[in-house]
């Protein structure tokens, strides 16, 4: 089974081996094997965005990948198909002793009929973004990242990919580079500006390697990674008493939903999210619709 050019590395070799097993040992037809190849190749591209070992694959990585599928407008049914392909592939990797565990084991199947995960309430968001202890070095950075994520509705890759030159604190905006390196400007907001300014003044210079351009860096001097940010979001959510499952994408979904509930124009939200097609943005309207229906039922004389 020949896959698209530009793919290499251990993960890609394992995918090729698995596709051969599906074709030769399990006797699956060409169309089915081709479908597996497309799904697994897409995951390999997602995973290959950062240099990291295969044994770093874990449940957060799979959840983050599924969130990107939601972001791209794929239905829950399509996401369930991707997850099924990944489960089978990683089972093969465990059987061949390339992995010690299947990272999909504890990942629940997407619920068919739901396009978006639940969003955080305004109170939950406030508790989350204010949870970092800004008296500590990590807390200063983490507060800046969480506030920026929620204030701008960025994708995780866009957040960790921000450079010093992408942020204009005086004008109050960031420039994000989305899919296809498409550039967009997003308002930053007063509180996020304060948190970033605090981080730049107090902490970044003490950590960043010489010549490092990334805005958000770790104690080791290099850029914060997607996985690193995912883990800190989960940690702060638990500390804030947020019981529902959470991921960085949930902050992005909350950003969009809260804007629309506040009366923002759908086209403006589309621009800030960086959606090429407004149909993708419209998936948020069912969440807002539920809110409006509940409000109507409570307050309308004939509700």
Q: Give 109's DSSP letter.
A: P
**Which candidate in 115, 134, 155, 250 is catalytic?**
155
Query: Could you say which of 115, 131, 226, 275 is catalytic?
Result: 275
**Residue 284 designated active-site:** yes
Does the annotation count 275 as an active-site position? yes
Query: Would you give the end-to-end CA distance of the chain in angstroms?
Result: 59
87 is catalytic: no
Of 195, 252, 253, 258, catalytic: 252
Q: Which of 208, 210, 233 is nearest to 221 (CA)?
A: 208
Q: At what angle do helices 226-239 and 248-261 cross, to 10 degrees?
A: 70
Helix, strand, coil % (nearest 5) of the chain?
60, 5, 35
Distance CA 301, CA 303 (A): 6
Q: What is each CA distance from 67 to 117, 177, 220, in whole angstroms?
A: 9, 18, 28
Give the active site residue among 81, 179, 184, 261: 179
- Can 249 be counted among the known catalytic residues? yes
Q: Which of 18, 36, 199, 284 is catalytic?
A: 284
- The Cα 230–Cα 103 span in angstroms is 16
Catalytic residue among 226, 249, 250, 253: 249
List the catalytic residues: 155, 179, 249, 252, 275, 284
């Amino acid at each position: 089974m020949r896959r698209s050019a530009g793919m290499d590395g251990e993960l890609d070799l394992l995918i090729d081996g698995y596709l051969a097993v599906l074709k030769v040992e399990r006797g699956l037809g060409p169309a089915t094997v081709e479908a597996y190849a497309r799904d697994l190749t897409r995951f390999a591209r997602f995973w290959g965005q950062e240099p990291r070992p295969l044994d770093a694959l874990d449940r957060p990585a799979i959840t983050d990948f599924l969130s990107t599928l939601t972001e791209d407008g794929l239905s829950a049914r399509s996401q369930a198909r991707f997850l099924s392909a990944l489960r089978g592939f990683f089972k093969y990797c465990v059987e061949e002793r390339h992995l010690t565990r299947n990272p999909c084991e504890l990942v629940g199947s997407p619920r068919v009929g739901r396009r978006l995960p639940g969003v955080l309430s305004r109170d939950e968001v406030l508790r989350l973004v204010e949870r970092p202890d800004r008296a500590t070095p990590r807390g200063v950075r983490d507060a800046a990242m969480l506030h920026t994520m929620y204030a701008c509705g960025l994708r995780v890759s866009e957040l960790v990919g921000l450079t010093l030159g992408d942020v204009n604190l005086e004008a109050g905006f960031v420039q994000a580079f989305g899919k296809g390196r498409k550039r967009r400007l997003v308002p930053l907001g007063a509180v996020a500006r304060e948190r970033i300014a605090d981080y730049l003044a107090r902490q970044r210079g003490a950590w960043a390697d010489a010549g490092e351009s990334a805005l958000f860096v770790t104690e080791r001097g290099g850029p914060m990674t997607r996985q690193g940010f995912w883990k800190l979001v989960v940690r702060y959510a638990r500390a804030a008493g947020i019981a529902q499952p959470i991921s960085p994408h949930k902050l992005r979904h909350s950003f969009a939903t809260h804007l629309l509930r506040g009366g923002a124009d759908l086209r403006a939200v589309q621009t800030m999210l960086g959606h090429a097609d407004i149909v993708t943005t419209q998936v948020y309207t069912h969440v807002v619709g539920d809110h409006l229906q509940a409000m109507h039922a409570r307050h309308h004389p004939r509700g």
